[in-house]
Amino acid sequence: MRKLFDAIGLKCHDEEKAVVLYKLGIMFGGVLSLNELFRGTPEVFHNKTKAEMYRFVGDKLPGTSQIVTKEMVDAMFKYTDIEGFCLSKK
């Protein structure tokens, strides 16, 4: 997983956090497959997509012991927050 993130330029050297982000990405892909999200302006799309991802807060990420948090979802919508999440010592 680390090699994948390094290849795309994302600094995430904590394997567990890399898996969390990967699993969140899979969930995000499922959300993006919802056609109704693509109606409206880019801002509406952003807000609807984020709201759909917030619905996962409190759920367990499949295959991990991690629970989806609001901070994880927020990190997906801001690149610098993703790196902050990856590099934090939490």
Q: Tens digit of pLDDT for each residue in 50-63? A: 999 999 999 998 88
Over residues 79-88, the mean pLDDT reads 60
For residues 9 and 72, the model is more confident at 72
Q: Tens digit of pLDDT for each residue in 4-39? A: 666 666 666 667 777 777 788 888 888 888 877 778
Rounded to whole angstroms, the Cα distance separating 75 from 24 reads 10
- The tokens for 80 are 């610098």
For residues 47 and 31, the answer to whether their CB atoms sit within 8 Å is: no
For residues 83 and 68, the model is more confident at 68
Rounded to whole angstroms, the Cα distance separating 63 from 49 reads 23
The residue extents of the domains of the chain are 2-87
